[in-house]
Every structure is written in C-alpha cells, then in structure tokens.
Amino acid sequence: MMFRPAYQNDFVAVCGKPPPKTVKAWTMLRDGQPIAIGGYFLVDSAAVAFTDQVADISKREMVRGAKMLLGLLAKLKLDVVACDGPYGTAILRHFGFKQHGDLWRLGT
C-alpha cells in the first residue's frame, strides 16, 4: 500500500465521478490501483476533511490512511471539520473529532 497525490481519474475510479470542487487530496493505492481517497477543501477559514473508498478496504488500511491525512491536516493550522460516513462515528471519535451539530470538529 502506498499514497500519492490524487488525480481526477482516481476520483472517478473510487467515487464514480470527478470532484465537485477544488480539493487537495491523496490516493491510497493497493497493487497500483486506487482503493481510497482522502483530502480536504477550504470553506472560510476551515478545512473540511473527506474520505471515500472502494468497498474492500481493511480497518488497518483505513487507520493508516486516516493517520496520514490527519498528519497533513495538522500542518495547515486550521480548524478541521468532517461529516460522518458509512462507517458511522467510531473512526471520527477514535481520531479526536467531537460532534458539533451535524458536523464533527477535530480536537474541540
């Protein structure tokens, strides 16, 4: 498994369509094929984190990808928010997000 910057064709392979807006994202590759994407886009002065993946990703791969993405987000020195996804809130809580209404905010 390795990571590299995400390209439009990675979004199509993982999400089924190109990104709807300008994003900064990374692709997780297994055997040279994209299996997950994680990144962020900026709204006002906050980074909105997102992830998407193909159905067949292990918990170990998920955690490794999340650690990589959070390390990059920490360098931004901005508030980070996210929405819960198909795996619920467990991974958000695991990495220090706290619920604020419909969103989850990192570290507060």
16-54 confidence digits (pLDDT tens)? 999 988 899 999 999 999 999 999 999 998 999 999 998
What pLDDT sits at residue 59?
Answer: 85
Residue 88: per-residue pLDDT: 72
| Spatial strand order in the sheet of 46-53 | 2-5, 24-30, 33-43, 46-53, 79-82, 103-106, 97-100
Q: Which amino acid is at 8?
A: Q
Instruction: Give pLDDT, residue 98.
Output: 93
Bridge partners of residue 50, in order along the sequence: 39
> What does the pLDDT read at residue 90?
84
